[in-house]
Amino acid sequence: MTTPAAFRFTFPADPDRHVRAATLLGADPASGRDLRELLPDALVRLMRDIGTPNGIGALGYGEDDVDELVAGTVKQQRLLVIAPRDATEEDLAGIFRSSVENW
């Protein structure tokens, strides 16, 4: 549910890798679109095609839950340390807020 926003956040760490992944999902880097949005857009298309719920809001989470979601995420250091970019609690909150609805 948070993947599109998470990849927007990690894009600066390795733009070429993000563009390559988007290309593998059918995106066209020569389309003139913002390269930062290629992978999130490709993932949203895939999520819609397979019937994935539209963000964490569809799972019952909203803006009021962001602080609790961040607190739970910070406890998952084994996942955070493998991210290509360090994320602050503020960054994580932004990812969750951007993920309430993906389309």
Joined together, the tokens standing for residue 37 give 């949005």
- For residue 51, the SS3 value is coil
Q: How confident is the model at residue 79 (pLDDT cuts 50, 70, 90)?
A: confident
d(CA 49, CA 96): 22
Total-model pTM: 0.92
| Mean pLDDT within 14-19 | 97
> pLDDT digit string (tens) for 54-67?
999 999 999 999 99
Q: Which CATH class is domain 3-98?
A: mainly alpha
